[in-house]
Amino acid sequence: MRQVYGVIGNPIGHSLSPAMLEAAFKEVNIDATYVAFEVKEDQLKQAIDGVRGLGISGLNVTIPHKVAVMEYLDEIDPIAERLGAVNTIVRKGNKLIGYNTDGKGYLQALLPILPKSLKEMRVLVLGAGGAAKGVAVTMAMDGVKEMCISNRTVSKAEELAKECSSHTRASSLPIALAQARLTEFDLIVNTTSIGMTPHVDQMPLSLEMIARGVVVSDLIYTPFKTMWLKDAEARGAIIQNGVEMFVNQGAVAFEKWTGVEAPRKVMKKKVMDKLGGMKC
Ligand code: ATR
């Protein structure tokens, strides 16, 4: 029988996940469909009951449900527990188990472009929301040399730095100080929405001080190359946008559902086609 997978979120109309995951199922000859379900916040419990009742095989979970969905699941994987958010639900028999593939997806995207081991790198993370947590805690657990967090709301940066500090040397840094100490960092990651369409002329931080060869990573992929990434590239940085992370978080979810290696190239091509064939 044809299996049903999907993604829940609100809004969900512009999600690239259905096209990407349907291409993946087709490529490996799994008879499955993948549907985007718009679920309002007060309908989340009913939606998860529906997953159980209808026998839906697996789900992705996106904004605003990544935290709230946890209370309706039977088990939470330790990494998702640590990150305080679930983006993937796997059905095992009658149980629904919550995972978080964002951090692993980010690392899978990042590691191939690094000029040296992550363990030797001093990292600056801009932002302290849900995406920042996934990225920063995962990198801290992987053992970066040092982790600094800068955020508009300083208390959130302090909280995230504290979480990272159980794994590595971590601190919060006021944005002005991060700006002044930019030369100290080997990797700078933007997890905020600054520079995202339609506010494409905004930058999270000036990169005037960066050295050549620094890695600059932006989780945004609309626009495909933010003004900030273009500036970084012009200054000789190694750059990466959010497409690879998006593809890899979906690929890791696919592998958890099916046990089959995800066809990452096919998935990326589908996302690129949907984004209009742009190149980074
Ligand atoms: P996500 O799940 O995408 O991380 P989020 O949890 O709402 O979304 O976090 C958004 C992050 O972007 C936060 O760090 C936020 O800063 P605050 O904690 O101060 O709100 C940051 N952010 C968003 N818009 C911003 C802006 N215009 N200027 C500075 N920071 C911004």
Ligand 1 center from residue 16 Cα (angstroms): 22
pLDDT of 212 strictly over 90: no
Atom 6 (ligand 1): residue with closest C-alpha?
129
| Measured distance CA(19)–CA(59) in Å, rounded | 14
Region 224-234: mean pLDDT is: 97
The catalytic residue positions are 66
| pLDDT 10s digits, 4-16 | 999 999 999 999 9
Label the pairing between strands 32-38 and 3-9.
parallel
Cβ atoms of 91 and 58 within 8 Å: the answer is: yes
Atom 9 (ligand 1): residue with closest C-alpha?
129
Backbone φ, ψ for residue 89 (5° rounding) = -115, 130
Any atom of ligand 1 within 6 Å of the Cβ of 152: yes
Identify residue 239 by its one-letter amino acid code.
I
pLDDT of 86 strictly over 80: yes
Q: What percent of the chain has pLDDT over 90?
A: 97
Ligand 1 center from residue 248 Cα (angstroms): 23
This prediction's pTM: 0.95
Any atom of ligand 1 within 6 Å of the Cβ of 219: no
Region 108-120: mean pLDDT is: 97
Q: Is 172 helix (H, G, I), strand (E, B) or coil?
A: strand
Atom 10 (ligand 1): residue with closest C-alpha?
129
pLDDT for the residue numbered 278 = 62
| pLDDT 10s digits, 43-71 | 999 999 999 999 999 999 999 999 999 99
DSSP-derived letter for residue 151 is -
| pLDDT 10s digits, 119-169 | 999 999 999 999 999 999 999 999 999 999 999 999 999 999 999 999 999
Q: In what order do the strands lie in the sheet with 122-126?
A: 169-172, 146-150, 122-126, 187-190, 215-218, 238-240
Strand locations in 115-244 (E)? 122-126, 146-150, 169-172, 187-190, 215-218, 238-240
